[in-house]
Amino acid sequence: MRIVVQEAPFDFGAEAETFASGRHDMGAIVTFTGVVRDFGNGTLDAMEIEHYPGMTQKALEAIAEEARTRWSLGDVLVIHRYGRMEPSEKIMMVATAAPHRKDAFEAAEYLMDYLKSRAPFWKKEHATTGETNWVAAKDEDEDALSRW
Amino acid sequence: MRIVVQEAPFDFGAEAETFASGRHDMGAIVTFTGVVRDFGNGTLDAMEIEHYPGMTQKALEAIAEEARTRWSLGDVLVIHRYGRMEPSEKIMMVATAAPHRKDAFEAAEYLMDYLKSRAPFWKKEHATTGETNWVAAKDEDEDALSRW
Amino acid sequence: MDVLYFAWVRERIGLPKEKVTTEAATVADLVAELRAREDRYDLAFSDLSALRVAVDQELTDFDASIKGAREVAFFPPMTGG
Amino acid sequence: MDVLYFAWVRERIGLPKEKVTTEAATVADLVAELRAREDRYDLAFSDLSALRVAVDQELTDFDASIKGAREVAFFPPMTGG
């Protein structure tokens, strides 16, 4: 299990390759990657992500540990950035390795649902006009937790 | 959309990186990778995958097209190998890009469920003892289709 | 028409593909003709619930018509992914 | 104890962190003390349903005890991922 919180970009392809390689007993690897969207109209200049340094790593570890108790997993990877990112930059990734695909998929979705609403990150949009906007949490993201 | 059926290994990290990069309007990228498992006891020498050359590409394209009608997707990638593979080799991958994570996850799971039971591939295990065994389809894989 | 066999169906019958001239109207009729040929065919087709069929590279069922079909393929349930 | 503010709570109050000496028993008591200080605090805490709280870096609720706590943090609902 590896949990990384960093400001710098990460190499998604290399991380995915390393995570998926050399596994003899895990038949299923799932990755999720979150990307900064400009909403298709080019009005987003950047996304700024604030976090709670003392708590973030612990919160992510607790979420990952809970996933490992709920599903049969061989490994879990979480990388989450903070700071300023432009459209098309990768914000974060999770990866799960499991003997079977159902566990790998469900655990990845669980990690994402909890990361969205229970890890101490806050997103602020910077528009090309200079306006800023704290992204509001969505009811549907909170509701997504109820399925677990 | 890209659908590839080939005997040669594919570069998962490079494919994942290329698929996830340069996207300004897709916030969510999901990949699934299938790996040859040796069941943890080292008794599997190789997995041999037979396919139906004339039908495979068409069947995969039809499955991917159906996913695109059911979910809001920006792109779909399917790579599936045939031939002989050793434990830890990657058999196949799918990737989905969507504005939102729910679509990316569901479409990837749909692709996998249909690939498992409706794409013309057959797996044969070669044990280190020399014995061979055609992998039987699982009832749970057939049942998985009923949720879509 | 071409008749194709895959996986253990291919192994039991002993060949991957053959030309078949038939007046059979449906897949089931074709199966009946093949079973009557030789034991290896009879054995391969003894449990149709363990088999799948594609006509002209589209999955279908054993009631399907094969009139005008160019290719009929028999194989066990698929195990992709 | 240290009191921390994140995202728009930090912006409204105008600082990320401050030392607070308090006899408050619960988070809600601490919030009442802070609101009484100045308008910017009163405004930031005007709708508790829009806020979340962590005591010693664990998410909790406004009824939670802060006796012996070293760090209390206030912030809006999280938007990770």
Q: Do D79 and A136 touch (CB under 8 A)?
A: yes
Output the 3-class SS for A28-61.
EEEEEEEECCCCCCCCEEEEEEEECHHHHHHHHH
Instruction: Choose which CATH entry (3.30.390.10, 3.40.50.970, 3.10.20.30, 3.40.50.300) describes domain D2-75.
Output: 3.10.20.30
In terms of CA atoms, which chain B residue is nearest residue A112? B101
Q: Is A39 on the interface with B (CB under 8 A)?
A: yes
Please tell me if residue A143 touches chain D, with a CB cutoff of 8 Å: no
Q: Is A35's CB within 8 Å of B12's CB?
A: no
Residues of B in contact with C76 (CB under 8 A): 122, 134, 136-137
Q: Where are the domains of chain D?
A: 2-75
Residue B92: enclosing H or E segment and its boundaries?
strand B90-98
| Phi, psi dihedrals of residue C55, rounded to the nearest 5° | -110, 125
Per-residue pLDDT of chain B (148 residues; tens, 9 = 90+): 999 999 999 999 999 999 999 999 999 999 999 999 987 678 999 999 999 999 999 999 999 999 999 999 999 999 999 999 999 999 999 999 999 999 999 999 999 999 999 999 999 999 999 999 999 999 999 999 999 9
Scanning A97-116 for CB atoms below 8 A from D yields: 112, 115-116
B50 touches chain C (CB under 8 A): yes
CB contact (8 A) between residue A32 and residue B99? no
Using CB atoms, pick whichever of B22, B27, B32 lies closest to residue A37: B27
A118 interfacial to chain D (CB closer than 8 Å) = yes
Nearest to A34 among B28, B38, B87 (CB): B28
Chain C residue with CA closest to B117: the answer is: C78
Average pLDDT, integer, range A130-138: 95
The residue-averaged pLDDT of C10-15 equals 98
> Cβ separation of D59 and A92 shorter than 8 Å?
no
Q: Is the CB of A92 inside 8 Å of chain D's CB atoms?
A: yes
Mean pLDDT of all residues in chain A?
96
A61-102, pLDDT tens digit by residue? 999 999 999 999 999 999 999 999 999 999 999 999 999 999
Class of residue C15 by CB neighbours under 10 A (exposed 0-12, middle 13-18, buried 19+): exposed
What pLDDT is recorded for position B56?
98
Give the closest-approach CA distance of A79 to chain B in angstroms.
14
Residues 6+ apart with CB under 8 A from C61: C27, C53
Q: Pairing state of beta strands C2-5 and C71-75?
A: parallel
Q: Which of B122, B126, B135 to mutate to test the interface with C (most CBs of C within 10 A)?
A: B122
Mutant choice from B11, B23, B33, B112 vs A, greatest count of A C-beta within 10 A: B33
D79 CA: distance to closest CA in chain A (Å): 5
Least Cα separation, residue B125 to chain A (angstroms): 14
pLDDT band at D17 (very low <50, low <70, confident <90, very high): very high
Residue identified by tokens 């992709």 is C80
Q: Which residue of A has its CA nearest to B44?
A: A24
- The pLDDT value recorded for residue B41 is 79
- The nearest alpha carbon in chain C to B58 belongs to C57
Residue B27 sits at the chain C interface (C-beta within 8 Å): no
Answer yes or no: do C79 and B115 touch at CB < 8 A: no
- Measured between beta carbons, which residues in chain C are less than 8 angstroms from residue B55? 54, 57-58, 73
User: Chains near C, with 3+ CB pairs < 8 A?
Assistant: B
- Mean pLDDT over each residue of chain C, to the nearest integer: 97
Our CA angle for C52, C56, C60, nearest 5°, is 35
> Distance of alpha carbon B112 from its chain centroid, rounded?
6
Q: How confident is the model at residue C27 (pLDDT cuts 50, 70, 90)?
A: very high
SS3 D61: coil
Q: Do A58 and D57 touch (CB under 8 A)?
A: yes
Residue at token pair 């895990």: A26
Rounded to the nearest angstrom, the minimum Cα separation between D73 and chain A is: 9
Residues 6+ apart with CB under 8 A from B58: C57
Domain range spanning residue B127?
A: 2-145
> Which residues fall within 8 angstroms of residue C38, CB to CB, at 6 or more apart?
none
Per-residue pLDDT, A42: 81
CATH number of the domain at A38, please.
3.90.1170.40
**Dihedral of CA D5/D10/D12/D18: which sign?**
positive
Average pLDDT value for residue range A100-113: 98
Distance from CA of B114 to the nearest CA of C (A): 9
DSSP letter (8 states) at residue A24: S
**Domain count across chain A:** 1
Write the ipTM: 0.95
B83 touches chain C (CB under 8 A): no
Lowest-confidence segment of A38-52, A103-117, A125-139, D37-51 by average pLDDT: A38-52
